[in-house]
Amino acid sequence: MRYLPIHIDLKDKTVLVFGDGPAAEAKLRTLMKTDARLVAVADTPSTEMALWAREGHIEISADADLATATLVYAATEDETENLRIAGRARALRIPVNAADQPAGCDFITPAIVDRTPVAISIGTEGTAPGLARALKSDLEARLPSDLGQTSRHIKALRDTLKVEEPDIAKRQAVWADVLGAGLNDLTSLNADAVSERYDAVRAGSASGQGHVHIVGAGPGDPDLLTVGALRAMHSADVVVYDRLVSEPVLSLCRREAEFVYVGKQAGEASTRQDEINRILVEKAHEGYRVVRLKSGDPLVFGRAEEEFAALDAARIGFTIHPGITAAAAAAASIRHSLTVRGENTAAVLATGHDENGFAELDWASLAEPGARATIYMGLRAARFIQGRLMLHGARPTTPVAVVENASRPDEVVLQTTLGDLPDDLVTHGISGPAVLMIGYARRAAQAHLKAAS
């Protein structure tokens, strides 16, 4: 290893960046993330640099005293000039970096994954900057975005532990236990999970309590999963999933996981909610990382509150990963905004069905001209919904877009009207899953293109 990666404290230190072109800008952009006093040595600063100066991020100077600098960047667009600056800095024993010129570099600036105070630097000793960038984006996607917060949280716990436990070896053992085996999965690495594990370890009962991730699987297309959802799925020990979770999404879960299907079996009622709660609690108590995979967004018509209550009652920690709900995906399918400025001030998400059968909605407001609502679980209730809305004055010509299997390869969009809705559902054999989008018409250009093809 020719280069030693070190992290230098730049608080209130002066860093000089020579140059006024793209190379200097790039260096400044990275350095602005630090607490350094940044001086751009430039005769004709770029607009961007002038803006940074106005905002107080950097100072601009036509000339600067090298001796005041902790680090020097020679990033003019002139290679000879850069080597000359490097020579001057070296004469003063100030580490220097000449942009893209290894001969003028005492140090290189790595690719950085920044989760302050956690920072990961990636360097290839100049051999493959592209590889460093690829590694950086891979790590960016995999590391929780709140890693910095977690790290500060650990610092606070360490301060407490220092007071309580004077023996350093014992303190290290506690941290090995808290951050080791029990938390070797990055998805569980957040402040709450650390606290929970810390408390368990301190209580001497490091039994390795499991954790439940309530994960939104989205409407079907795996592209619509969040990065956090994917992370949780990749490290699951147990996956408890519903009927509407698509096969391509399911196949992204860790292969070695135990898969528990809790949806409807053909001809049977779905697994009872308290049975699902029981499975979640039992698997977490056994110490497993449980992923509860629910279609769409788990917090939209997903009975999530009942699962939260069961987990709370059993004192099991859980993390929620929101997902793309069917209405959002369906709106994209018909290329129509859920809310349109000046047209609808509310976009209602309603269910056609509740525990008492067909749901009674606020028909009067839904029947108003211009009202827009997306109805879930509405297929069987379609005739009832039509009747209620028309009874309250909705026009039969009100547009209704029906989106079946939104975001999936077998997606169908049926554009109809309130008057024709129930019959059209039958004629077109719409059997679900589908949403009824009352007051929405598929974007005209789309319809036109379809008609033309």
- Determine, following the binding rule CB under 6 A, whether residue 301 of this chain makes contact with ligand SAH: yes
Tell which residue, 23, 105, 98, 16, has the closest CA to residue 63.
16
- Determine, following the binding rule CB under 6 A, whether residue 406 of this chain makes contact with ligand SAH: yes
Tell which residue, 358, 349, 409, has the closest CA to residue 379.
358
For 393-427, give the DSSP string: T--TT-EEEEEESTTSTT-EEEEEETTTHHHHHHH
Among 302, 317, 422, 439, binds ligand SAH (CB under 6 A): 302
Among 19, 110, 296, 422, binds ligand SAH (CB under 6 A): 296
Residue closer to ligand SAH, measured from CB, 249 or 371: 249
Closest residue to bound ligand SAH by CB: 296
- Determine, following the binding rule CB under 6 A, whether residue 347 of this chain makes contact with ligand SAH: no
Write down the catalytic residue from 162, 264, 274, 362: 264
- Determine, following the binding rule CB under 6 A, whether residue 386 of this chain makes contact with ligand SAH: no
**242 noted as active-site residue:** yes
Query: Measured in Å, how far apart are the chain's first and last C-alpha atoms?
Result: 61
Buried b (16+ CB within 10 A) or exposed e, 44-71: ebbeebeebbeeeebebeeebebeebbb
Rounded CA-CA distance 385/379 in Å is 10
Query: Residue 185: helix, strand or coil by DSSP?
Result: coil
68: DSSP letter: G
- Determine, following the binding rule CB under 6 A, whether residue 49 of this chain makes contact with ligand SAH: no
| Residue 353: CB minimum distance to ligand SAH, A | 8
- Determine, following the binding rule CB under 6 A, whether residue 244 of this chain makes contact with ligand SAH: yes
User: CB under 6 A: which stretch of 132-140, 248-256, 269-277, 430-438 binds ligand SAH?
Assistant: 430-438
- Whole-angstrom CA distances from 107 to 86, 118, 130, 269 are 12, 21, 18, 66
Residue closer to ligand SAH, measured from CB, 110 or 433: 433
Residue closer to ligand SAH, measured from CB, 144 or 433: 433
User: CB under 6 A: which stretch of 53-61, 260-268, 393-401, 403-411 binds ligand SAH?
Assistant: 403-411
CA 250 to chain CA centroid, Å, is: 18
Strand partners, 115: 118
| Residue 193: CB minimum distance to ligand SAH, A | 25
Tracing tokens 């893209």 back to the chain, one arrives at 100
| Residue 226: CB minimum distance to ligand SAH, A | 13
- Determine, following the binding rule CB under 6 A, whether residue 300 of this chain makes contact with ligand SAH: yes
Question: What mask, x for binding ligand SAH by CB under 6 A, covers residues 95 to 134?
Answer: ----------------------------------------
Among 96, 326, 389, 401, binds ligand SAH (CB under 6 A): 326
Question: What mask, x for binding ligand SAH by CB under 6 A, covers residues 212 to 231?
Answer: -------xx-----------
CA 60 to chain CA centroid, Å, is: 38
Number of residues that bind ligand SAH (CB under 6 A): 24
β-pairing, 399-404 with 412-417? antiparallel
Residue closer to ligand SAH, measured from CB, 85 or 214: 214
For 24-63, the three-class secondary structure string (H helix, E strand, C coil) is HHHHHHHHCCCCCEEEEECCCCCHHHHHHHHCCCCEEECC
Buried b (16+ CB within 10 A) or exposed e, 86-109: beebeeeebebbbbeeeebbbbbb
- Determine, following the binding rule CB under 6 A, whether residue 76 of this chain makes contact with ligand SAH: no
Binding site for ligand SAH (CB under 6 A): 219-220, 244, 294-297, 300-302, 325-326, 330, 376-377, 403, 405-408, 432-435
Give the residue numbers marked as catalytic. Answer: 242, 264
